[in-house]
């Protein structure tokens, strides 16, 4: 690994972005804006007749730090989410891939090099904001922690941006995915304080920092429940961003130097690891005491809490099945090669084979984790838990069917097959719900229809006969898709025209 | 040395390259020729590690390109037909970046950058931003990038695309000097005249299949053993040259136009001398008579399965 400061990729970006004229312009504008904000705040303070200088200095610090955070995070995320796809479009990426730089070296260079101007502007204005904070009476460690977290969040968002740009064909597509990502992130974080996953609010970082500035209250507590213990918010923030960042690094290191068509985000075992991580993380963030408090209205609060927790577990794993199925999907070429070379049943679990056996394995592991998690939940006796085997099996049949459908689509001549296949699946569910709603004669028929054609009713544990019929139909469709895939491979090979 | 061992590339519905077994010794200039879509680019992209083969191996100087890519890249220089360069860098910065990216010893980089800039004739643009260069200059910069780390193997995919005649000639001279220094070159093209004169071996690909691979002398000798092409010109005096020629044993496919003729002759040097003697004996006033040197294009036409060029 080359020295960080001698990383050629980093130096290239510094040379491209930091030409003296550009640097002077950026420095002048950013420092001028900071000073103007300072002067404006001072004027407002005088006009309002406030004599407390510290208060307005604190406002200036918050204003500047907020501005720096917005600029650094959004600039980095936006530029990184276009970086690789831009290089591909320009046909310069192949030359990077044929150098001796390792994926780790390329990644390091891009991570800090692509948004280097944003780092420059932030570093330059840091002195002004830090001065305002210190003069305003904020503790030095709180100011340092603010910038430390700013760097951590920026790095994770830049990693997410690079992962997006590695996968999309066009740079503009990266921006769309980026906005969806930011929106989901802020919704999750802002909903957290009211829910049973209070630790989720640590995603927003600000709640983790507020107590350091002496602003802890009921809405923004200093500690949140994490794996049943009260843990400082900043620590949860670090764990969340650290682990998310680690998964993104795994995906990038695996795929950065690959052709776009050869990208498989995770290996099969990494997929299993991801499923275990998500289950444990959700369990760790669930505040059982808060859940029990929410269920006090019920006749048996513990039973109600157990049912709700089980429902949440089932929903989470439904999405995990899709996530594992998609991130470990074989490329058409590798799958075809596997199909020709496959020898026995064990080969179905090879890294190039179909991903559905691993989705089934994930389901089995999820159930084992459920047993562990239910035994570790304080306040809910073991007898209150019901094993969600039935629900998991029903959901699994739908997830496997959809994963097989996506795999089949990748074997056709469809362009951007995965994206289109996912769109078709969403369209299917939307169409089923709409058609059933249009022709429903009674609520029971509507519910049974949904139980057969969608996995919805598996979450509620009712209409088991209809759900069973639905599961059997999905298995039949899955077998048919398997046959179609088999037929496609058995077709005579076409020589290049 | 470049070795393809059962190298194969398949996509979901087509085979781009059928299992390929070729060994290109050190110092050889190997021309990969064939029509568009024959699999030349796919082969070169697999050879430089950009594409993962469906099966088989590529070894560059004994190192498996896909098993140990970072080590293999030390010896590989790659250039594709259409590419961009980083417009916001200066010429020397661009080459300096790649020299570092190929992990050349730091103390030799500055001198090597200057040397390569001189080799491709961009001395006056040393400190210029790349965005100000012409297309031909950018192509030359691309060539400089490919050789900056003194690779032992050069993989060039249609390198002369978009070059003007002068730049083509410069490229040709550069490749000749690299050949003389012992660099192994694999160069693809569908413009056969580009390869004329400096290829020592050729491989002909069609529909993903290597239909022929071997040294040019071997092909020429092989062809000469069966027939050679002879061109003749004479002073027009009403003689029926075509009939005279066709009457000689070993002569075939006589094509005449005005006072010139081209024909095939199967036989020894003595036999060919007899053809000339026979013409003279029939009163044909011969101006020139000689064997036509085989071009790469001739060889291609002889060996290929007549795919559209």
DSSP A12-54: HHHHHH--HHHHHHHHHHHHHHHHHHHHHHHHHHHHTT---HH
How far is residue B124's CA from residue B145's CA, in Å, rounded to a whole number? Answer: 17
Q: Is the pLDDT of residue A494 over 60?
A: no
Look up residue B293 and give its DSSP letter: P
Q: Kindly state the average pLDDT of the residues A76-94.
A: 92
Q: Is the pTM of this model over 0.95?
A: no
What pLDDT digit, counting tens, does each position of A152-177 carry? 999 999 999 999 999 988 777 767 77
Is A258's CB within 8 Å of B52's CB? yes
Instruction: For chain B, give the percent of residues with pLDDT over 70.
Output: 88
Distances in Å between the Cα of A267 and the Cα atoms of A13, A112, A307 are 31, 27, 34
Contact (Cβ atoms closer than 8 angstroms) between residue B31 and residue B222: no
Interaxial angle between packed helices A356-375 and A268-285, expressed in degrees from 0 to 180 and rounded to the nearest 10: 30
* pLDDT of amino acid A176: 74
Highest mean pLDDT among A241-245, A441-445, B197-201, B253-257: A241-245
How far is residue B216's CA from residue A175's CA, in Å, rounded to a whole number? Answer: 53
Extended strands (E) in A134-199: none
Q: Which of A18-32, B57-71, B211-225 has the lowest mean pLDDT?
A: B211-225
Helices then strands (H, E): number in chain A?
Answer: 19, 3
Q: Does residue B308 belong to the interface with chain A, where contact is any CB pair within 8 Å? A: no
Shortest alpha-carbon distance between residue B258 and chain A (Å): 41
Shortest alpha-carbon distance between residue A22 and chain B (Å): 12
Angle at B262 between CA B261 and CA B264, to 5 degrees: 140
Instruction: For chain A, give the percent of residues with pLDDT over 70.
Output: 95
Q: Is the pLDDT of residue A108 over 80?
A: yes
Of A90, A100, A411, the CB nearest to B84: A90
Q: Which residue of A has its CA nearest to B88?
A: A16
Pick A347 or B197 by higher pLDDT. Answer: A347
Is A336's CB within 8 Å of B76's CB? no
For an interface test with B, give the residue of A5, A17, A98 to mutate (most B CBs within 10 A): A98
| Alpha helix ranges (H) inside A328-388 | 332-341, 356-375
Is B98's CB within 8 Å of A336's CB? no
What pLDDT digit, counting tens, does each position of B126-162 carry? 999 999 998 888 888 998 999 999 999 999 998 877 6
Q: Which residue of B has its CA nearest to A14?
A: B89
Contacts of B56 in chain A (CB under 8 A): none
* pLDDT of amino acid B249: 86
Q: Kindly state the average pLDDT of the residues A369-394.
A: 86
* pLDDT of amino acid A250: 97
> Mean pLDDT, chain B, as a whole number?
85
Contacts of B53 in chain A (CB under 8 A): none
Of A17, A98, A488, the CB nearest to B73: A98
Instruction: For chain B, give the percent of residues with pLDDT over 90.
Output: 39
Is A95's CB within 8 Å of B14's CB? no
Contact (Cβ atoms closer than 8 angstroms) between residue B39 and residue B207: yes
* pLDDT of amino acid B309: 37
Q: Is the pLDDT of residue A497 over 50?
A: no
What pLDDT digit, counting tens, does each position of A125-148 carry? 999 999 999 988 899 999 999 999
* pLDDT of amino acid A392: 92
How far is residue B79's CA from residue B237's CA, in Å, rounded to a whole number? Answer: 56
Q: Is the pLDDT of residue A117 over 90?
A: yes
> Mean pLDDT, chain A, as a whole number?
88
Is B100's CB within 8 Å of A6's CB? yes
What pLDDT digit, counting tens, does each position of B3-37 carry? 999 999 988 677 889 899 999 998 889 999 888 88
Q: How confident is the model at residue A218 (pLDDT cuts 50, 70, 90)?
A: low
Rg of chain A, C-alpha, whole Å:
26
3-state class of A377 per DSSP?
coil
What pLDDT digit, counting tens, does each position of A403-412 carry? 999 999 998 8
* pLDDT of amino acid A199: 85
Contacts of A333 in chain B (CB under 8 A): 10-12, 54
* pLDDT of amino acid A493: 58
Of B13, B54, B71, the CB nearest to A494: B13
Tokens 């992962």 -> residue: A163
Pick A49 or B39 by higher pLDDT. Answer: B39
* pLDDT of amino acid A146: 93
Tokens 């193997």 -> residue: B153
Is A16's CB within 8 Å of B88's CB? yes
3-state class of A127 per DSSP?
helix
Is B14's CB within 8 Å of A496's CB? yes
Of A6, A99, A412, the CB nearest to B98: A99
DSSP codes joined into one string, A379-437: TS-GGG----HHHHHHHHHHHHHHHHHHHHHHTSS-TTHHHHHHHHHHHHHHHHHHHHH
Q: How confident is the model at residue B110 (pLDDT cuts 50, 70, 90)?
A: very high
Pick A341 or B48 by higher pLDDT. Answer: B48
- Give the A:B interface size as CB pairs under 8 Å: 112
CB atoms within 10 A of CB B30: 21
Contact (Cβ atoms closer than 8 angstroms) between residue A447 and residue A462: yes
Q: Is the pLDDT of residue A446 over 60?
A: yes
Backbone angles phi, psi at A306, to 5 degrees: -60, -40
Shortest alpha-carbon distance between residue A258 and chain B (Å): 7
Q: Kindly state the average pLDDT of the residues A230-240.
A: 92
Shortest alpha-carbon distance between residue A10 and chain B (Å): 10
Helices then strands (H, E): number in chain B?
Answer: 10, 14
* pLDDT of amino acid B260: 87
Contacts of A409 in chain B (CB under 8 A): none
How far is residue B115's CA from residue A402's CA, in Å, rounded to a whole number? Answer: 58
Contact (Cβ atoms closer than 8 angstroms) between residue B296 and residue B199: yes
* pLDDT of amino acid B302: 64
Contacts of A16 in chain B (CB under 8 A): 86, 88-89
Shortest alpha-carbon distance between residue A410 and chain B (Å): 9
* pLDDT of amino acid B167: 75
For an interface test with A, give the residue of B92, B100, B135, B159 to mutate (most A CBs within 10 A): B100
């Amino acid at each position: 690994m080359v020295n960080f400061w001698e990383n050629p990729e980093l130096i290239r970006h510094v040379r491209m972005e930091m030409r003296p004229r550009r640097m002077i312009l950026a420095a002048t504008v950013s420092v001028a804006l900071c000073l103007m904000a300072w002067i404006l705040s001072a004027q407002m303070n005088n006009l309002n007749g406030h004599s407390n200088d510290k208060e307005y200095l604190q406002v200036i610090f918050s204003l500047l730090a907020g501005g720096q955070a917005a600029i650094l995070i959004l600039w980095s995320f936006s530029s990184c989410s276009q970086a690789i796809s831009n290089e591909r479009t320009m046909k310069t990426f192949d030359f990077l891939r044929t150098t001796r730089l390792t994926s780790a070296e390329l990644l390091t260079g891009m991570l800090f090099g692509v948004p280097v101007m944003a780092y420059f502007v932030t570093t330059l204005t840091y002195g002004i904001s830090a001065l305002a904070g210190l003069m305003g009476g904020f503790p030095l460690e709180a100011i340092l922690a603010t910038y430390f977290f700013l760097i951590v969040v920026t790095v994770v968002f830049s990693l997410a941006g690079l992962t997006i740009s590695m996968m999309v064909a066009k740079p503009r597509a990266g921006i769309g995915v980026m906005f969806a990502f930011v929106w989901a992130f802020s919704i999750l974080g802002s909903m957290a304080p009211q829910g049973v996953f209070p630790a989720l609010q640590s995603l927003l970082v600000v709640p983790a920092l507020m107590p350091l500035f002496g602003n802890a209250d009921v809405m923004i507590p200093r500690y949140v429940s994490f794996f049943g213990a009260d843990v400082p918010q900043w620590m949860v923030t670090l764990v969340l961003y650290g682990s998310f960042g680690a998964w993104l690094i795994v995906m990038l290191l695996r795929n950065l130097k690959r052709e776009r068509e050869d990208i498989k985000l995770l290996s099969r075992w990494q997929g299993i690891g991801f499923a275990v991580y998500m289950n444990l993380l959700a369990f760790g963030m669930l505040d059982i005491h808060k859940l029990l408090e929410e269920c006090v209205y019920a006749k048996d609060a513990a039973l109600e809490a157990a049912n709700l927790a089980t429902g949440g577990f089932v929903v989470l794993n439904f999405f995990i099945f899709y996530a594992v199925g998609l991130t470990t999907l074989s490329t058409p070429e590798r799958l075809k090669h596997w199909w020709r070379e496959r020898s026995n049943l064990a080969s179905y679990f090879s890294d190039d084979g179909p991903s559905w056996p691993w989705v089934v394995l994930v389901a089995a592991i999820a159930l084992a984790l459920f047993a562990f998690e239910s035994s570790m939940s304080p306040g809910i006796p073991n007898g209150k838990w019901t094993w969600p085997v039935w629900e998991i099996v029903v959901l699994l049949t739908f997830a496997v069917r959809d994963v097989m459908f996506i795999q089949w689509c990748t074997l056709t001549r469809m362009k951007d097959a995965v994206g289109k296949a996912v769109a078709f699946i969403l369209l299917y569910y939307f169409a089923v719900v709409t058609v059933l709603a249009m022709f429903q004669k009674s609520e029971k028929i509507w519910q049974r229809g949904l139980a057969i054609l969608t996995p919805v009713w598996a979450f509620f544990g009712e209409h088991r006969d209809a759900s069973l019929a639905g599961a059997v139909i999905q298995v039949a469709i899955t077998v048919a898709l398997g046959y179609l895939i088999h037929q496609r491979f058995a077709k005579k090979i076409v020589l290049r025209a | 040395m470049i070795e393809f061992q059962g190298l194969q590339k398949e996509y979901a519905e087509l085979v781009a390259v059928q299992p390929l077994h070729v060994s290109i010794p050190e110092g050889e200039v190997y021309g990969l020729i064939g029509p568009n879509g024959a699999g030349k680019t796919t082969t070169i992209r697999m050879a430089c590690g950009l594409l993962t083969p469906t099966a088989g191996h590529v070894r560059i100087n004994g190192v498996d390109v896909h098993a140990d890519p970072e080590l293999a890249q030390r010896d590989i220089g790659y250039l594709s037909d259409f590419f961009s360069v980083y417009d916001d860098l200066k010429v020397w910065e661009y080459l300096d970046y790649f020299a570092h990216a190929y992990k050349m010893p730091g103390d030799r980089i500055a001198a090597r950058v200057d040397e390569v800039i001189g080799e491709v004739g961009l001395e006056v643009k040393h400190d210029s931003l790349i965005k100000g260069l012409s297309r031909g200059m950018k192509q030359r910069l691309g060539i400089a990038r490919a050789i900056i780390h003194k690779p032992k193997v050069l993989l060039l995919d249609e390198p002369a695309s978009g070059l003007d005649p002068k730049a083509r000639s410069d490229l040709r001279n550069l490749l000749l000097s690299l050949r003389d220094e012992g660099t192994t070159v694999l160069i693809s093209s569908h413009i056969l005249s580009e390869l004329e004169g400096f290829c020592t071996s050729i491989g002909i690909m069609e529909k993903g299949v290597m239909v022929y691979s071997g040294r040019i002398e071997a092909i020429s000798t092989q062809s000469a053993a069966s027939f050679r092409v002879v061109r003749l010109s004479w002073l027009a005096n009403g003689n029926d040259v075509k009939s005279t020629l066709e009457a000689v044993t070993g002569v075939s496919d006589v094509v005449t136009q005005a006072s010139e003729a081209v024909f095939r002759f199967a036989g020894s040097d003595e036999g060919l001398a007899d053809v000339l003697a026979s013409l003279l004996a029939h009163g044909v006033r011969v101006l020139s008579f000689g064997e036509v040197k085989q071009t790469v294009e001739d060889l291609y036409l002889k060996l290929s399965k007549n795919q559209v060029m």
